[in-house]
Structure 1
Amino acid sequence: MRLSKVDLNLFVVFEAIYRTRNLTRAAEMLFITQPAVSNALARMRKAFDDQLFVSTPGGMIPTAVSENIIGQVREALQLLDSSTHVGGRFDPASSERTFRLSMTDLTEALLLPALQEVLQRLAPGIRIESYFTTRKEVPEALASSAVNLAIDAPLIDDPYLEQEPLGRDRYACLLRHDHPFTKNKLTIEDYLRFGHIHVSSRRQGPGLVDAELNRLGLRRSIQTRVQHYLVAPLIAMRT
């Protein structure tokens, strides 16, 4: 096989299939049609004289040849991508770029007002789009540039993501000001006796607090489950 005879875009499709293990999701990630992905895979198979991926009920499983070349393919794609930006300079003052951020409503409330104030003063042409992306979808969203930055708890384990801590915070118990509880110190027994509000973007499943309680052999009583943090204190104020 001669490189001059191979369309380099095929390697982009190859990496997407390897990452997603699914032709349809690879097509969505690359913003092309599923038949186009299938056609590219057929051409890759012919060029390498190998199946490259075997279709199974669990997804597209890479062959030994795919496993052997994926590392070099990714290095080459990263090098090609970085070469397109060499010499480029990002000027916030004149940029009209749109940045897509993924975060919860609480993070939006903490960061976006101050960020927007800075942007209005120093980078008025920059636009921000913020919406929540589930942890399962974050790696693909970042890989496809559907999201430029995701802010979340450090629970996404993906070797191809770069992560930096923004800060740490502590949990606190919130009761309405005229709540019957009058002790100066809240014990674990008191804590478990109360009804709780659980905030989660998922329809079901435990949160971080529940996972820790389960580890201790304890369980709290969840009276209300909501998907946004900012509504929780409004409920607590009236219950």
Structure 2
Amino acid sequence: MLLSNQFKRLDLNLLKVLVVLIEVQNTRKAAQILYTSQPSISRSLQKLRHYFDDELFIRSQHGLAPTAKLNDLKQTVLPAMQQLAYTLEPQDDFNPALLDEGVNIAINGFIANSISAQLTHYLFQQAPNIKVNILDWSKLTLEQLVSGEIDIGVNYYPLELSKQVYQKQIAKDGFLFVCRQGHPLAGTLLNDYQGPSLDLASLVVSDWNDTIAIAPTVLASAGISAEVKVRSSYLHSLLAIVKDSDVLFPCSKLLAQSLSHEFALLAFPDTPTMPVSEVGITMGRKHRNQPKMRWLESCISEVFSHS
């Protein structure tokens, strides 16, 4: 493939500066990472602005904010630079203990509350110098997996995804209710329940039930009336409410297993409207064979195998 005259004029070292600036959005921090001076980073940024005919970054109160042009470039430049790095580096020499970078993992809120701590400890055991960033699974996550901004995701499986995203089932979950110890329904199955409407507490999980609670619909299909009395994205607040009332908390089994003995469990009725309960990992398809991705996949699978 012949290179264009414009591309021939580009110093590829500038792209290394661009990648670091995208990550840290601060010229001083970029200079520290690249072992150079802040004025040198500023000069490189000026050359990048000239090459791309765009400001790329605009100074804000918190550092450098990306322009729309840069957000577009991130979708192509980041994956290309990552692929180049893994192509040129010896693949057999990958050692997580030598990793000194950030790892971005997007996790569904229910799953995150149950395995985030275990996963972080496990990652630190193998790669003590990494920085772990656990993110909410959001509407932007799939796009960020494709671009490489997020390394790997964990969510219920399967998802409706584009061909640019790879997914694989790694574990099973399920759903039940958590209630206070001594609750009149504790330990029962709701299949034959004919009592008054149930009061529910709903954990708001981004891009999953942030617009509508799922449990009332599932219960309605079994002929059981239920009303959400409180919704919150703060798990500890909901558990405090459940512990001191008769409110029921629809919860994943993985999360329920991590709760204290102050709580009891209550099975959902058997109904075909229950949401899927398998758990899967997701990553940008173009990144899946990179050594770091394979390592992250093995770590997440290992943590789930002991959950």
- TM bin, normalised by shorter chain, reads 0.5 to 0.7
Q: C-alpha separation between the residues in 2 aligned to 1:156 and 1:225?
A: 25
1:130 and 2:134 equivalent? yes
**Which runs of 5 or more structure 1 residues have no equivalent in the other structure?**
10-26, 41-73
Aligned AA for 1:234? A
- Select which of 188, 192, 197 maps to 1:193: 197
Q: 2:103 corresponds to which residue?
A: 99
* 1: CA distance, partners of 2:111 / 2:184: 31
| 1:44-193 → structure 2 map (5 Å cutoff) | 82-88=83-89, 89=91, 90-104=94-108, 106-134=110-138, 136-154=139-157, 156-159=159-162, 160-181=164-185, 184-187=188-191, 189-190=193-194, 193=197
1:225 aligns with 231
SS class of match (1:113)? helix
CA contact (8 A) 2:101 2:129 kept: yes
In the alignment, which residue of structure 2 is the partner of 1:65?
A: none
Secondary structure in structure 1 of the residue aligned to 2:155: coil
The superposition leaves residues 114-141 of structure 1 with CA deviations (integer Å, 9 ceiling, x where unpaired) of 333333433211120112131x111122
Question: Quick check: 2:197–2:224 contact (8 Å CA) kept in 1?
Answer: no
RMSD: 4.0
Letter in structure 2 aligned against 1:157: E
Deviation of the 1:198 alpha carbon: 1.5
Shift in CA distance, 193/82, structure 1 to aligned 2, threshold 3 Å: same
**Distance in 2 of aligned mates of 1:129 and 1:231:** 23
Query: Which structure has more RCO (C-alpha within 8 Å, separation ≥ 6)?
Result: 2
> What is the aligned length?
182
Counterpart code for 2:87? V
- Change in Cα spacing, 1:35 to 1:147, as seen in structure 2 (3 Å) is closer
**Contact conserved, 2:179 with 2:243, CA < 8 A, in 1?**
yes
| 1:179 shift after superposition | 2.2
How many Å separate the matches in 2 of 1:192 and 1:6? Answer: 73
- Look up the match of 2:68: 34
Distance 2:126 2:132 in 1: 14
CA distance in 2: counterparts of 1:183 and 1:121, whole angstroms = 38
Change (3 A) 1:183 1:162: closer
Q: Which runs of 4+ in 1 moved over 6 A?
A: 77-80
Relative distance call for 1:155 and 1:138 in structure 2 (3 A) is: farther
CA distance in 2, matches of 1:91, 1:165: 26
CA contact 2:198–2:225 (8 Å) conserved in 1: no
Q: Deviation digits for residues 54-109 of structure 1, max 9, x if unmatched?
A: xxxxxxxxxxxxxxxxxxxx9xx978863542242432111112101122454334
- Give the structure-2-normalised TM-score: 0.47
Q: Distance in 1 between matches of 2:195 and 2:177?
A: 9
Residue 196 of structure 1 contacts residue 222 of structure 1 at CA under 8 Å; is this kept in 2? yes
Bigger fraction of residues in strand: 2
Decide whether aligned partners of structure 1 residues 171 and 192 sit closer, same or farther in structure 2, where only a CA change above 3 A counts: farther
In structure 2, the partner of 1:66 is none
TM-score, normalised with respect to structure 1: 0.58
Does residue 234 of the first structure (1) align with residue 240 of the second (2)?
yes
Report the identity percentage.
14
Unaligned 5+ segments in structure 2 are 11-55, 58-64, 246-307
